[in-house]
A and B are shown apart, each in its own frame.
Chain A
Amino acid sequence: MDLEILIENVLNAVTAGVTIGCIYGLMCIGLGLIFGIMRIVNFAQGELLMLGMFASFYLVSGGKVLSFLGPYWGPFIGALCAAPLVFAGGALLHKFLISRVSGLRTAGSLDEGHFGQLIVTLGISLILQNGGQIVFGSTPVAVRTPLSAEAFLIGPVYGAATVFLNKAKLIAFFVAILVAIVLYMTLEYTRLGKALRASADNPTAATYMGIEVDTAYRIAFGLGAAITAIAGGLMATYISFGPFVGFDYVIIMYSGVVLGGMGSILGAFWGGLTVGFVQQFSALILPPQLQNAAIFVVFLMIVLLRPQGLFGRSAERA
C-alpha cells in the first residue's frame, strides 16, 4: 500500500516536472535569447512575463476580445496572441532605454557597460511592477478555463497508483514545445537567425559583414520578451497572478539560463526543465516552504561542479 502511494507520487512528480518544466523551459528561452545574444542581465524579464500574463488575461477573460474562441481554446490562443503585443513593448523598451546602455555603444568599454544595464533594467522592472499595480490593481486574477480543473487519468499503473495529467498544463506543455521548436528552427535556418547569432558571437565583426547589429538586438530583445510572454500566458491558465508575480519567476529564469549555459538556446530550455523537475521532486520529500530553497541549492551545486553550465563552453585566449 505504501509502495503504491510512493509510486503514484513519483509518477505524478515526473509528469508534473516534465509539463511544468517545459513551460519553464520556454520562459527561460526568452531570457536566454536576450542574455545570450546581447549579454544583458535583464532584471525586468519577470515583468515581461507578467505583461504576457495580463495581455492574455485581458484578451481572453477581461476584455473579451477573444471570448468567441470559448473557454477551451481561447486561453491558449490568447497566450500566443500576447506575443506580438509584448514583442512591440520589448522593442520599444530597447529602442528608447536599453540600447542606450548596451550593444555597440558600450562594446569595448570597461565592464562592457554592465553597471548601467543593471540599473536601467532594475528601474524598468520597478516601473512595470508598480505601474502594473496602478493599471491592473493588486487583486490576483487568473485566465479561467475549465481545463485547469480537469485531468486525464492514466492507469491504475501499479495497484491503485494512478497518474493525473492536468488538461490545462498538458495543452500548455504542447504549445510550449511547439513554440520552442519553431523558434529553434528560425534561429537555425533563417537569415534572421543567422544575423542574430552573428551579432551574439561578435557584434563588431557582424557590423563589418553588413548586419545591422542594433536592429538585430532590437529584434532579439523583442523576441525574448515575446517568448517569455507566451510562457506567461500559458502559466496564466493554471496559476493566479498579480503585478508582482515576475519577482517569483525572474530567479527561476536566471537559474535555468545559467544552468543550461549562457548563450545556448537549447541549454536554456534544458535548464528550465531541470528547475521544473527539481521543484516538483523536492515536493515529494521537503516541506513546501523549502521547495524554492531546494532549487537554489541544486542550482549552486550544478554551477559549482560545472561552472560553464550544462551545455555551455568557456574559453579565454591568452
Chain B
Amino acid sequence: MKQGTGPELRRNLAAFAIVSVVYLGISLLVTNSYYQLILALVPVWALFGVSWNILSGYGGQLSFGHASFFGIGAYTVTLAVVYWSLSPWLGIVLGMILGGVAAILIGLPTFRLRGHYFALSMLAYPLAILYVLQYLGFQEVSLPMHRDRPLVFMEFSEPRIYTAIAVGLLVAGVVVSLIIENSRFGLALLAIRQNELAAEAAGINARLWKMRSLVVSGMMAAVAGGFYARVLVVVTPDSVFGMLVSAQAVVVTLFGGVASVWGPLIGAAILVPLAETLQAELGGYLPGIQGVVYGIAIVAIMLLSPDGLFWTIRDRWFKPKAAAPIPDVALMATAPRAVRAGVPLLVVENLSRAFGGLKAVSGVSFSVTEGEILGIIGPNGAGKTTLFNVLNGVLSADEGSAQLAGQQMLGKKTFEVCRMGVGRTFQVVRSFPRLPVLDNVIVGAYGAGLTDHDALVSAVRALHQVGLQDQSGVAAGQLTNKQLRLMELARALAGNPRLLLLDETLAGLGRKECDSVLDVLAQLRERGTTICIIEHTMHAMMRLADRFVVLDHGRVLAAGLPRVVVEDPAVIEAYLGKKWLARQHA
C-alpha cells in the first residue's frame, strides 16, 4: 500500500459496502423474473468493466479484444460441465486460471506493440477464437441440468441468489482494483499511461507491469464470463467472444468514468438496464429502435461529459482539496556520499551509433570521475542527446562500451540502467501531468526498488533538495517550466542515483531561474552526486562544470578544463564558423 492512502481507501470501501447492501435490498423487492435477470447481469458487466479498467484505464493500454478472456471463462465453465460434469464453482476457478494463461500468451507478443497498434491487434484474438469455435461445432452449447445437486451446479430456483453471487464476485473485483489503485502497482500503471519513456527512465519495468495488469485483468474478465455463462445457461461464440462483448467493457467503463473503480459500476448500473428495457419495451415494436436510442444516449453523455460520469460528478460536487500538504515524515540527515576523488565512475569507450548513413555518435570516448560535474557541449545536432539515449538504453549502441563503476551499461534496458544508479532528465520535460508532484517523484523512488515507507521518505527528501516541498500536492501539469525541470530532477534524485544525466536542464529558463537551478545542482555536487550535463548556456556551464567534453558531428572535438576548451580554435569554429575565427585573427 502506498503510504497515506488508508483513509481514502477506507472511505471507498465503506461507500461500496453501502451500495452493495442497498443493491441487494432492491433485488429483494423485485419480483418480475426478467428484471431479476437484469439485476444479476449488472454486476457481471460491471466486473467485466472493472477488469478492462485495470489494463486500459489505469495502464492506458487500450484493448478492444477483452472478449477473449470473457469468452474463455464462459466456454471453460460450459464445456467443463458438459464433458466432465465439473461444478461451475470450480469451472469459474479453472476459467480464471486459463484466463490468466491466455493473458500471458497474448501479452508476450502483443506488448511489443504500442498505442493504436496494440489496441487493434487485441481485436483480432477473440475473433480468431470465435471462428475456430464455430468451425469446431460449438455454435450453441447449453449447460446440462443436474437437478440432483443444485448447490454444486449453481442451479437455484430463487433467482436472487444469482444476484447475490454476482455482487459477491464484484466485491472481490472491486477490492482487487482498489488495492491496485492505491499501491505501487497502480502508480506504475498511471505513470506508464502518462509517459512510458519517463516511467522507464525512472526505473519502472513497463513491460512487466503491463503484463501483470493484463494477467489480473484477464483472470477477472474470465470470472465474469464464467458466471455469465452459468446465469444465461446457453453460450454461443458471438455472445461471449463477439465484438459487442468487447465493446461492452469499453462502453460501461468510459461512460461511467475511466481509471476509477466507480466508473464501470456507474456505467453498468445505467447502461445494462437501459439497453435491456429498451429491448423489451421497444424491440418488438419497431426492430432497431432500441439500438438507436442506446446509441444516442451514449453519444450524448460523451459529448456532455467526455471523461465519463464519475469525473464530471466529482469535479462538480466533490472537488478534492486543491493541494494536500506534504506528508510529515522524519527526514534523518543523511551523510553525503563518500567521493573517491579521481576514481572514474563512468567510462565511455569508442561509442558509436548511426541512423542509416548518419553517424550521430561516432567513436566517442570520455570518462567522468566521482563527484565531478562534466559539461557536454556542442552545436545543435552534434549527437549529445543521442549519446544520452544510448547510455541509458533508449537506443542501442552500434559499437563501443560504457561502464559504470566497472559494470557494462550497454545492452541493458532503460529501467535496468536506472536501477544501476543512473538518473536521467529529458530535453523536453517528461512528467506525469495528472499526478501530483509528490507521486511523480515517488515513481522514481519505486523505480529504484525502495519499500513504500522508504520511497515516501526519499521522495520528500528529494523535493526538499530541489525546493519544491510547497508544491507537493499540485498536479504536475500546473507547474511552471522551472518547477517542472526541478520536479524531473527530484524524480531522478529520489532513486538515490550515483550518476545523473541531465539533458538541457536549463533550457528555456530566464537568467534568475537559471541561477536558482544552478544553486540546486551545486548543492548536489556538495552531497557527492556525479553529474553529466548537456547545456547550451555557456555562462552557466562555465560556472558549474569542472570539465568540458565538446561534441561536433558525433565526434569528440575537444575535452578538458572549461577555460582551455573555450579558447580552442576548433571549438570556436564549430560554434561560430570559420569566418568568425578568421576575423578574430585578422
- Interfacial residues, chain A to chain B (CB-CB below 8 A): 35, 39, 41, 43, 97, 100-101, 110-111, 113-116, 118-120, 122-127, 129-134, 138, 243, 247, 251, 254-255, 258, 262, 287, 289-290, 292-293, 296-297, 299-300, 303-304, 307-309, 316, 318
Contact = CB atoms under 8 A, between A and B. Distances in A.
Closest 4 CB pairs of A and B: A130-B291, A126-B295, A133-B288, A123-B299
Interface string B242-255: 01000100110011
A304 B254 CA distance: 28
Interface in B266-300: 286-292, 294-299
Interface of B: 60, 62, 109-110, 112-114, 116-117, 119-121, 123-125, 127-128, 131-132, 134-135, 193-194, 197, 243, 247, 250-251, 254-255, 258, 286-292, 294-299, 302-303, 306-308, 385, 388-389, 394-395, 426-427, 433-434
Nearest to B110: A304
A297 B109 CA distance: 13
Contacts of B132: 290, 293
A70 B294 CA distance: 41
Nearest to B424: A318
A103 B483 CA distance: 29
A133 B121 contact: no
A247 B308 CA distance: 26
A300 B135 contact: no
Contact of A120 (B60, B110, B299, B308): B299
Contacts of A254: 120, 123
Contact of A122 (B250, B286, B389): B250
A119 B251 contact: yes
A304 B112 contact: yes
Given A247-B243, A296-B127, 17 more contacts: A39-B116, A110-B194, A110-B433, A119-B254, A120-B299, A123-B297, A126-B291, A126-B292, A127-B296, A129-B291, A130-B289, A251-B123, A258-B116, A292-B127, A299-B124, A304-B121, A318-B427
A51 to B, nearest CB: 15
Nearest to B395: A318
Nearest to A123: B299
Contacts of A113: 306
Contact of A303 (B113, B254, B255, B433): B113
B128 A293 contact: yes
Nearest to A136: B288
A307 B296 contact: no
Contacts of B112: 304, 307
Nearest to A299: B124
Contacts of A35: 116
A101 B306 contact: yes
A309 to B, nearest CB: 8
B123 A130 contact: no
Nearest to B198: A318
A124 B434 contact: no
A44 B306 CA distance: 19
B121 A258 contact: yes
A100 B305 CA distance: 11
A204 to B, nearest CB: 14
B60 A111 contact: yes
A131 B292 contact: yes
Nearest to A316: B197
Given A127-B292, A293-B135, A41 B117 contact: no
Contacts of A243: 288
A255 B299 contact: no
Contact of B295 (A116, A125, A133, A134): A125
B131 A110 contact: no
Nearest to B289: A134
Nearest to B121: A303
Nearest to A291: B131
A255 B65 CA distance: 14
B247 A122 contact: yes
A269 to B, nearest CB: 18
Contact of B426 (A41, A122, A247, A318): A318
B62 A127 contact: no
Contacts of A307: 112-114, 117
Max chain B CB contacts within 10 Å: which of A35, A39, A122, A254? Answer: A122
Contacts of A297: 128
Given A251-B123, A290-B135, A303-B113, A134 B288 contact: yes
Contacts of A120: 299, 302-303
A166 to B, nearest CB: 25
Contact of A130 (B250, B295, B389, B427): B295
A123 B302 contact: yes
A138 B287 contact: yes
Given A111-B60, A258-B120, A318-B426, A130 B292 contact: yes
A122 B251 contact: yes
A136 B123 CA distance: 29
A292 B297 CA distance: 33
Contact of B389 (A133, A299, A318): A318
A303 B389 CA distance: 26
Given A127-B295, A318-B394, A101 B302 contact: yes
B194 to A, nearest CB: 7
Contacts of B131: 289-290, 292-293, 296
B288 A115 contact: no
A287 to B, nearest CB: 6
Contacts of A100: 303
B255 A124 contact: no
Contact of A110 (B119, B251, B394, B434): B434
B435 to A, nearest CB: 11
Contact of A300 (B124, B197, B385): B124
Contacts of B394: 318
B385 A318 contact: yes
Nearest to A301: B109
Contacts of B134: 289
A115 B292 contact: no
B113 A123 contact: no
A139 B390 CA distance: 61
Given A101-B303, A134-B292, A293-B128, A119 B298 contact: yes
Given A126-B291, A293-B128, A118 B120 contact: no
B140 to A, nearest CB: 15
A293 to B, nearest CB: 4
Nearest to B113: A307
Contacts of B60: 111
21 contacts: A97-B299, A110-B434, A115-B306, A116-B254, A119-B251, A119-B254, A120-B299, A120-B302, A123-B302, A124-B299, A126-B292, A127-B296, A130-B295, A258-B120, A262-B116, A292-B131, A293-B127, A297-B128, A307-B112, A307-B117, A318-B197
Nearest to B119: A41
Contacts of A258: 116-117, 120-121
A290 B131 CA distance: 6
A124 B291 CA distance: 10
Contacts of A127: 291-292, 295-296, 299
A297 B193 CA distance: 28
A118 B250 contact: yes
Nearest to A111: B60
Nearest to B112: A307
A299 B60 CA distance: 23
B254 A115 contact: yes
A104 to B, nearest CB: 15
Given A124-B295, A134-B286, A138-B287, A119 B117 contact: no
Contacts of A43: 247
Contacts of B291: 126-127, 129-131, 133
A123 to B, nearest CB: 4
